[in-house]
Amino acid sequence: MSASSPQELRQSWQDAQGCIHAGPVRQTANGFTVVGCAACGFSHTLPLPTPQELEHIYAHEYYTQEKPLYIERYLEDKAWWDEVYAERYERLEAELPAGRRRLLDIGSGPGLFLAAGRERGWDVMGVEPSERASSYSRDVLKLDVRSMFLTDETAATLGQFDVINLGEVLEHLPDPAGMLRLVHGLLAPGGMLVVLVPNDFNPFQRVLNESMGVAPWWVAPPHHLNYFDTDTLPRLVARCGFEVRHVETTFPIDMFLLMGHHYIGNDTLGRQAHAMRKTLEMNLRAAGASGRALKSQLHQAFAGLGLGREVLAFARKTDDTSSPA
């Protein structure tokens, strides 16, 4: 089924709390259906797995089976990641007073974002369910990373934070709004939220799927349950008690597919495309203030067009914690 063909099919499903999730079918994959859910305000799979059904995947399988080379590739790209993370910390430091530097990274992976913050003088902590990734953070980088899922019970042991980072987390959760409300409670007044999610069903992807016959590789349940874009992510964040301060997207690497560089399923070509993207961004950063400003403007312009591989949002905690409609 095409991602934006006439939406004649609709599907509905009732969760354990009695909420009806219903909407037009966008795609099907691996026994799941992705619908544009009216109740949630973003696209997600039906049915939604329970947290218990997902726990084993992320505690034991994700970094060994789904992404066996993730840590190695992450470290190969460390110089580029250091620049990416420097930009995020620079924006946070501009938003917060100098004395507010306590940060929690939820789904902290191998820990490079936390390490970058520590080098800048931040007080950092991570929560990471993968034993492999959290062990690397603790044993190699000597970071305070807890091997657990963030729940109401575990959150009560952590204290309050000035910043909470959710990098590529919300797309994996059965209840992303519930996670945002939990995070809201962990943030000190006026604290900042940083959220990064894939920008799915974006215009480049739709052209590739509809006009070029490229299968929708970004639809990947049960690992990716939710599918956000430049409109639905900011709306969800705002409904969960945050004032959105800044939205941009990351480089639209899927444009390489439009140029005939067919890297899907080809690791060598994928690394080549990623290397060209890194070179572009590193050269702009190396050009000084003007190059960094141009890079930021470029990524904001991508967001304005709905393009970019991920959506990145910065938001400030407010007192409004109303639930999504």
Concatenate the DSSP letters of all residues of 291-308 into one string: HHHHHHHHHHHHHHTT-S
pLDDT in tens, 154-177: 999 999 999 999 999 999 999 999
Residue 66 domain-assigned (yes or no): yes
Sign of the Cα pseudo-torsion (198, 152, 34, 24, in order): negative
Amino acid at 24: P
pTM of the predicted protein model: 0.91
Residues of the chain with pLDDT under 50: 1-7, 60, 63-64, 66, 321-325
**4 assigned to some structural domain:** no
CB 305: neighbour CB atoms within 10 A?
A: 13
Tell me, what's the pLDDT at 292?
95
Question: What's the Rg (C-alpha) of the chain?
Answer: 19
Query: Which residues, 6 or more positions from 130, have their beta carbon under 8 angstroms from its beta carbon?
Result: 58, 59, 60, 62, 63, 109, 147
pLDDT at 62: 54
Task: Specify the pLDDT at position 295.
Answer: 96
The angle at the Cα of 50, spanning 49 to 55, to the nearest 5 degrees, equals: 100
Cα dihedral 20, 22, 28, 34, rounded to 10, equals -80
Q: Which residues pair with 314 in a beta bridge?
A: 194, 246
- Is 231 inside a domain boundary? yes
98 located within any domain? yes
Please indicate, yes or no, if residue 324 is contained in any of the structural domains: no
- Decide if 2 is inside a domain: no
5 part of a folded domain = no
In a domain, 322, yes or no: no
Strand partners, 164: 104, 193
For residue 241, give the CATH number of its domain: 3.40.50.150
Three-state secondary structure call for residue 1: coil
Handedness of CA 117, 120, 122, 124 (dihedral sign): positive
Q: Which of 188, 288, 180, 272 is nearest to 234 (CA)?
A: 180
Question: Is 35 in contact with 7 (CB distance < 8 Å)?
Answer: no
Alpha-carbon distance of 18 to 221, in angstroms, equals 23
**Structure-token pair, residue 243:** 């004032």
Number of domains observed in the structure of the chain = 1
Of 107, 106, 104, give the one whose Cα is nearest residue 58.
107
Helix or strand holding residue 118 (H, E): helix 112-119
Q: Check: CB of residue 300 under 8 Å from CB of residue 185.
A: no
Enclosing domain of residue 106:
10-317
Query: Whose CA is closest to 195, among 211, 172, 216?
Result: 172
Q: Identify the pLDDT of residue 243.
A: 98
